[in-house]
Amino acid sequence: MNNDGGAAFPRTCQFIADDDWVNECGMTLRDYFAGKAMIAVIPQYSQFDDPECREAIGKRCYELAAAMLKARGAD
């Protein structure tokens, strides 16, 4: 499995169930990059109402996010 880059906004949080502390939680850097890429990708698609089109947008955004992670050496 590829490295997801870790947390986009790392913070200390506690899981109540077992009282274990973790150093990272929340959105991954891969998800953050994909969300940022969506701003550039959506205008390239004219049929946003089509479910296949929305799936293509999501796929493209995560492809770009993977490329960004690779460029920063986190693949």
Q: How far is CA 36 from CA 8, 14, 49, in A?
A: 12, 28, 20
Residue type, 32: Y
| 3 SS3 class | coil
Closest CA to 5 of 32, 35, 30: 30
Q: Which two three-digit tokens encode residue 43?
A: 């205008």
pTM for the full model?
0.68
Domain boundaries along the sequence of the chain: 13-71
Cβ(19)–Cβ(25) under 8 Å? no
Q: Model confidence over 1-45: pLDDT tens digits?
A: 457 777 777 666 655 556 665 555 678 899 999 999 999 888 887
